[in-house]
Amino acid sequence: MTAPKNKTQQTNQHKGWVKLSHWIVTASFMALAISGFVILMCHPRLYWGEVGNDLTPALIELPVSRNYQHGGWEKSDAFFAVAGSPVSAGRTYEIFNQNGWGRSLHFLAAWVLTLTGIAYVLTGIFSGHIIRNLVPRAREFSRKLVWHDVKSHVLFRIPPATSGPHYGVLQKFTYLFVIFFLLPLTIMTGLTMSPALTAAYPFLPKIFFGAQSARTIHFFASTALVLFLIVHVTMVIRSGFRKQMSAMTFEQQT
């Protein structure tokens, strides 16, 4: 016969809404990562400022498709017979441009992640989840505890998993950084790349120093989120994959 769980164990388990939002955000982020990479393959160049195209200098070029360092252009032509006129040129290579489905999926998944994230934050604030489980306590700021937590993560000395949200100080800071900075930054820069939204809210490009700057920031913020996901999954495996998955799903705890 299984012993009944005590009140402390029940209290410390992840709430149902935390589990649900966790998996919705995970699925939508994976869709965003895949579709975003396909979109990037079509134009693997990043710029800084308001405009940028294949005929202007790039801040960074990424070797992710045949569009990287391509076969070049035919003779360029100006649209108007005035100084500073926009120019056009024909490509001398077969361009990779199969991103229609990627853009549609990216747009859909972005709104799913955004709305779920907003619901999570609001519920977390009003239920006390964020204050109770994610905000570090004053006693956790001791040099000894912080150093021990950092050292444990660097050396991959990960403590065994528990059935609830028992986070170290480094985990708490990381989760808060992701929830309240990286994800909002990724969402806002993504919105800034939408002509319809920037037409309605022209202050968006100014915040990020131009539409192309927003795209570059969006790339680096998204890359940071992917790295966070890789580290997060590694820690889950190291701390006890079976127990962690059981705690974050709707499987009955024993």
Per-residue confidence (pLDDT) for residue 7, from 0 to 100: 42
Q: Which residue has the higher pLDDT, 154 or 161?
A: 154
- For strands 45-46 and 60-61, give the pairing: antiparallel
- Under a CB-based contact definition with an 8 Å cutoff, are residues 106 and 98 in contact? no
- Under a CB-based contact definition with an 8 Å cutoff, are residues 65 and 93 in contact? no
pTM above 0.85, yes or no: no
Q: Which residue has the higher pLDDT, 182 or 17?
A: 182
Token pair of 116 as six digits:
């779920």
Q: Measured between alpha carbons, how far is 181 from 218 in angstroms, rounded to an integer? A: 12
Residue 79 has pLDDT above 80, yes or no: no
Residue 161 has pLDDT above 80, yes or no: no
Task: Identify which of 33, 62, 57 has the alpha carbon closest to the alpha carbon of residue 45.
Answer: 62
Domain 13-70+93-247 adopts which CATH fold? Fumarate Reductase Cytochrome B subunit (1.20.950)
DSSP assignment, residue 6? P
Of 69-83, 152-166, 217-231, the poorest mean pLDDT is in 152-166
Of 16-20, 59-63, 218-222, the poorest mean pLDDT is in 16-20
Across all residues in the chain, what is the average pLDDT? 80
Tally of CA atoms within 13 A in the half-sphere of 225 that contains its CB? 24
Of 24-38, 43-57, 127-141, 148-162, the poorest mean pLDDT is in 148-162
Q: What proportion of the chain, given as a percentage, has pLDDT over 90?
A: 31
How many C-beta atoms surround the C-beta of residue 61 within 10 A? 13
Per-residue confidence (pLDDT) for residue 8, from 0 to 100: 41
**Over residues 224-228, mean pLDDT:** 93
**Over residues 31-56, mean pLDDT:** 89
DSSP assignment, residue 46? E
Q: Which of the four pLDDT bands, split at 50, 70 and 90, describes residue 6?
A: very low
Of 20-34, 163-177, 240-254, the poorest mean pLDDT is in 240-254
Q: Measured between alpha carbons, how far is 42 from 238 in angstroms, rounded to an integer? A: 37
Sign of CA dihedral 43, 47, 53, 55: negative
What is the per-residue DSSP string for 101-131? HHHHHHHHHHHHHHHHHHHHHHHHHHHSHII
DSSP assignment, residue 93? S
Per-residue confidence (pLDDT) for residue 111, from 0 to 100: 93
Backbone region of residue 240 per phi and psi (left: phi > 0; alpha: psi in -120 to 50; beta: other values): left
Task: For residue range 180-225, list pLDDT tens digits in order.
Answer: 999 999 999 999 988 888 888 889 899 999 999 999 999 999 999 9
- What are the residue ranges spanned by the domains of the chain? 13-70+93-247
Q: Which residue has the higher pLDDT, 240 or 109?
A: 109
Fill in the amino acid letter for 218. Answer: H
First to last CA, the chain: 11
Question: For the chain, what's the residue count?
Answer: 254
**Rounded to 5°, angle at Cα 13 from 11 and 19:** 130
Task: For residue range 131-155, list pLDDT tens digits in order.
Answer: 888 888 777 667 777 777 677 666 6
In the three-class reduction of DSSP (H, G, I as helix; E, B as strand; rest coil), residue 73 is classed as: strand
Q: Which of the four pLDDT bands, split at 50, 70 and 90, describes residue 121?
A: very high
- Under a CB-based contact definition with an 8 Å cutoff, are residues 172 and 135 in contact? yes
